[in-house]
Amino acid sequence: PAGTRGISLFVVPKFLVGEDGSMRTRNAVACGSIEHKMGIRGSATAVLNFDAAVGHLIFEPNKGLEAMFTYMNTARLGIAIQGVAHAEASFQGALAYAKDRRSMRALSGKKEPEANADSLIWHADVRRMLLTQKAIAEGGRAMIYAAAQAADLMFNATLENDQASYQRYDNELGFYTPILKGFLTEMGLEAANIGMQVFGGHGYVGEWGMEQFVRDCRITQIYEGANGVQAMDLVGRKLAKD
């Protein structure tokens, strides 16, 4: 069929393997180019060329998207965790810096009179930023735990051959997925931005590592289905389903 309904899914090995398990000739798949990205440069994104390469069909013909989404939904939860991880890492860096760096006096009066200035953490706006980061990191972690619990219960239902419980937790996890992926990646970038702000001018300097969180986290809003797609999935499918 035309369009996405005609897509099939294949695994294409780098080397061809014999029936006896021996490695044989190299498959006809080659790296055409490496993409130059804004962030996550430790994970190379490449253009692959499949010139008469040998591929092995996964699942049924023309049901490639259905098979792909088996791991795509898992990856969406992984990207949600990435958003929380960036929020937590940025918060830890900003908190330590705010305790150590001194600048001016707090508007409510001297907090560290023995020093020539108060630590950043005594300034109201810095405290606001740190508490926002903390709320995002800890609240996001709680949301991830709730989804992980649903996944564990779904897995246990499979072991116990309890189809009704399996369907219940599968639906619950499916409902969580677009919310977690969309919301936690948006908030992860927000927290990373805030962390850079706490550092002031130093936040924009690469050696402190704060600006890397912003660059690396930005892709999470796009990966595994852009966040607008997550909203469409939530409203158009998940809410309408049950």
Q: Provide the phi-psi class of 95: left if phi over 0, else alpha when psi is between -120 and 50, else beta.
A: alpha
Q: Give me the long-range contacts of 145-152 (CB less than 8 A, separation at least 24).
A: 146/176, 147/77, 147/80, 147/173, 147/176, 147/177, 147/180, 150/176
Instruction: Give me the phi and psi of 50, to 5 degrees please.
Output: -110, 85
* DSSP alpha helix (H) spans, 101-208: 124-159, 163-198
Chain position carrying tokens 């099939």: 8
Q: Which residues are known catalytic residues? A: 224
d(CA 226, CA 232) in angstroms, rounded, equals 10
